[in-house]
Structure 1
Amino acid sequence: MLDETDVDAGPSTSPVIWIDGTLHTDAREARIGATDHGLVVGDGVFEALKVTPAGPFAVRRHLDRLERSAAAMGLPTPDRGTVLAGIDAVLADRRFAQGKVRITYTGGDGPLGSQAAYGSPTLVVASAATTVPPASTDVVTAPWRRNEHGALTGVKSTSYGENVRGLAYATALDCGETIFLNTAGNVCEGTGTNVFCVFGDEVVTPPLSAGPLAGVTRDLLLEWTPVVERDLTLEEALSADEVFLTSSLRDVQLVERWDGHAFTGLGARTARLVALFAARSGADLDP
Structure 2
Amino acid sequence: MPGFAAKVQHMNPSQFIWLNGRLQSLEEARLSPLDHGLLVGDGVFETLVARGGRPFAAREHYARLQRSCDVTGLHCISEEVFEESMREVMAANGLVDARVRVTLTSGDGPLGSDRGAGRGTVLVVATPLKPWPPTENVQLAPWTRNSRGALAGVKSVSYGENVRALMYAKERGCGEALVVNESNQLCEGTGSNVFVVLEGRLLTPPLSSGCLAGITRQLVLEACVKEGIVCLEEDLPAVVLEECEEAFLTSSTRDVHPIAGLNGRSLKAPGPVTLAVQQAFARQYGLG
- Please indicate, yes or no, whether the TM-score normalized by the shorter chain is above 0.5: yes
Corresponding residue of 1:7? none
Aligned pairs for 1:107-256 within 5 A:
107-225=106-224, 226-256=230-260
**2:190 partner amino acid:** T
Deviation at 1:53, TM superposition (A): 2.1
SS state of the match for residue 258, structure 2? strand
Write the deviation string for residues 248-271 of structure 1: whole angstroms up to 9, x where unpaired.
Answer: 000000111111011367612111
SS state of the match for residue 108, structure 2? coil
Deviation at 1:17, TM superposition (A): 0.7
**Per the alignment, do residues 98 and 213 of structure 1 end up closer, same or farther by CA in structure 2, a change over 3 Å counting?**
same
Aligned counterparts of 1:218 and 1:166: Cα–Cα separation in 2: 21
Corresponding residue of 1:17? 17
C-alpha RMSD over aligned residues: 1.7
Corresponding residue of 1:98? 97
Aligned counterparts of 1:235 and 1:146: Cα–Cα separation in 2: 16
SS state of the match for residue 31, structure 2? coil
Percent sequence identity is 43
**Contact 2:192-2:250 at 8 Å conserved across structures:** yes
TM-score normalised by L of structure 1: 0.90
Aligned counterparts of 1:263 and 1:86: Cα–Cα separation in 2: 41
TM-score normalised by L of structure 2: 0.89
Aligned counterparts of 1:73 and 1:168: Cα–Cα separation in 2: 27
Higher relative contact order (CA 8 A, sep 6+): 1
Deviation at 1:157, TM superposition (A): 0.6
Aligned counterparts of 2:115 and 2:185: Cα–Cα separation in 1: 34
**Contact 1:16-1:128 at 8 Å conserved across structures:** no
Write the deviation string for residues 102-159 of structure 1: whole angstroms up to 9, x where unpaired.
Answer: 0000111211110123212211111110211122111001111111111100000111
Could you say which structure has the larger radius of gyration? Answer: 2
SS state of the match for residue 86, structure 1? helix
Corresponding residue of 1:3? none
Deviation at 1:54, TM superposition (A): 4.8
Aligned counterparts of 1:133 and 1:265: Cα–Cα separation in 2: 14
SS state of the match for residue 256, structure 1? strand
**Contact 1:111-1:117 at 8 Å conserved across structures:** yes
Aligned pairs for 1:251-262 within 5 A:
251-262=255-266
Q: Structure 1 stretch 145-154 or stretch 90-99: which is displaced more?
A: 90-99
**Where does the alignment leave 5 or more consecutive residues of structure 1 unmatched?**
1-10
